[in-house]
Amino acid sequence: MADFTDTEEWSPIYQLTTADAVKGGALGKSNTQPRQLANRTAWIKTQIDNAITAAGLTPDATVLDQLAIAIQTLALGGKNIGVPYWHMGDTPPVGSMAFTGQLLSRTVYETLWEALNNADNNITVISDADWLAGRTGCWSAGDGSTTFRAPKVLGDFLRVWDSTGLIDDSRVLGSFQDFAVENATGSVGGVRNDNASYEPTGPFAVTASAGNFTNGGALMSWIDFDLSRSINTSTETRPRNTAWMLCFRYQ
């Protein structure tokens, strides 16, 4: 007994005629139909494997719902489970969540937890202690047995991690960094203003003045500094921006 040698092709299925002799073997008439069906099956399997691969998964015959997962992934634009994507709505799409640092059940969100731990995806999962200490941009292992935690990215700008440490040194993946501006220093001594037309400009302004000097009508002025007189200011430092929602798929 020998197995069929199938070929990946979609061909018509031959119908035996009354004149065909029943003959076995690789090219025997009685094996034509099963051989053609085997070829079709091989062709279908290739298409399925291609779809699964296009969704970022590794074909695995033991995962019975893998094709369904792949189709759902492709229908959502190829967004892999657990991987960030931008969403232009005020609520996440079906099957997705926003990154709010939420604790999740490993049982309820089993597919997501498996995706995070899939070596092919190479997603960093840290301890919850490290997450709470400031690495809020990573997934955490939660309590280590029943839960895990999502990254928390709310109102923050994303910065590409400098894995070389040459620019943004002393940083680790997923670490939070509070807002700051480069320091600016300066000083102004007693300013004698002999001409009223020489007024401070930009962020500088006169806050008070002392009386006349004996040799003229000049004033001694006190100068303060306020950037809001020159540029847009707020309670935080930020560039121009547009607010979108950052989401991840969990199924």
Residue 58, token pair as written in the block? 């590794």
- Asked if residue 168 is part of any domain, the answer here is yes
Contact 2, 26 (CB under 8 A): yes
Res. 37: pLDDT tops 70 = yes
Does one domain contain both 69 and 94?
no
Distance CA 38, CA 7 (A): 8
Segment 240-246 mean pLDDT: 91
Q: Where are the beta strands (DSSP E) in the chain?
A: 85-87, 96-98, 103-105, 125-126, 139-140, 147-149, 191-193, 204-210, 219-225, 245-249
According to DSSP, residue 50 is labeled: H
Same domain, 171 and 102: yes
- Residues 153 and 99 sit within 8 Å (Cβ to Cβ): yes
Return the axis-axis angle of helices 66-75 and 32-54, rounded to nearest 10°: 50
For position 225, what pLDDT does the model report?
Answer: 78
Between these two residues, 88 and 186, which has the higher pLDDT value? 88
CA dist., res. 199 & res. 193, Å (int): 8
220 belongs to a structural domain: no
Enter the DSSP assignment of 30. Answer: G
**3 state SS of 63:** coil
Is 132 part of a structural domain of the chain? yes
Please tell me the predicted confidence (pLDDT) of residue 21: 72
Domain count, the chain: 2
Mean per-residue pLDDT, 226-246: 85
Do 74 and 107 fall within a single domain? no
The lowest-confidence range among 1-10, 146-155, 183-192, 228-237 is 183-192
Q: Which of 24, 52, 78 is the last residue of a domain?
A: 78
Residues 19 and 96 in one domain: no
In a domain, 93, yes or no: yes
Mean pLDDT, range 72-90, rounded to an integer: 82
Categorize the per-residue pLDDT at 170 as very low, low, confident or very high, splitting at 50, 70 and 90. Answer: confident
Q: Which residue has the higher pLDDT, 93 or 201?
A: 93
Last residue in a domain, options 19, 45, 78: 78
Average pLDDT over residues 84-105: 94
- Domain residues for the domain of 102 are 87-179+243-249
Same domain, 99 and 172: yes
Q: Is the pLDDT of residue 246 over 60?
A: yes
What is residue 43's three-state secondary structure?
A: helix
Mean pLDDT of 4-13: 73
Confidence (pLDDT) at 218: 59
d(CA 122, CA 189): 59
% of the chain beyond a pLDDT of 70: 80
Query: CA torsion sign, 58 to 152 to 156 to 241?
Result: positive
**224 domain residue, yes or no:** no
Instruction: Please indicate, yes or no, whether residues 69 and 96 belong to a single structural domain of this protein.
Output: no
- Are 65 and 133 found together in one domain? no
Domain annotation covers residue 215: no
**SS3 for 41?**
helix
- Domain end, chosen from 51, 78, 105, is at 78
174-203 mean pLDDT: 70
Residue 152: which pLDDT band, with cuts at 50, 70 and 90? very high
Q: Is residue 116 part of a domain?
A: yes
Whole-number mean pLDDT of the chain?
82
Q: For 15-25, write each residue's pLDDT tens digit.
A: 767 777 776 66
Residue 215 pLDDT more than 60? no
**Which amino acid, one-letter code, is at 209?**
S
Are 126 and 170 part of one and the same domain?
Answer: yes
Q: How confident is the model at residue 98 (pLDDT cuts 50, 70, 90)?
A: very high
Distance CA 150, CA 141 (A): 9
Tell whether 222 is covered by a domain.
Answer: no
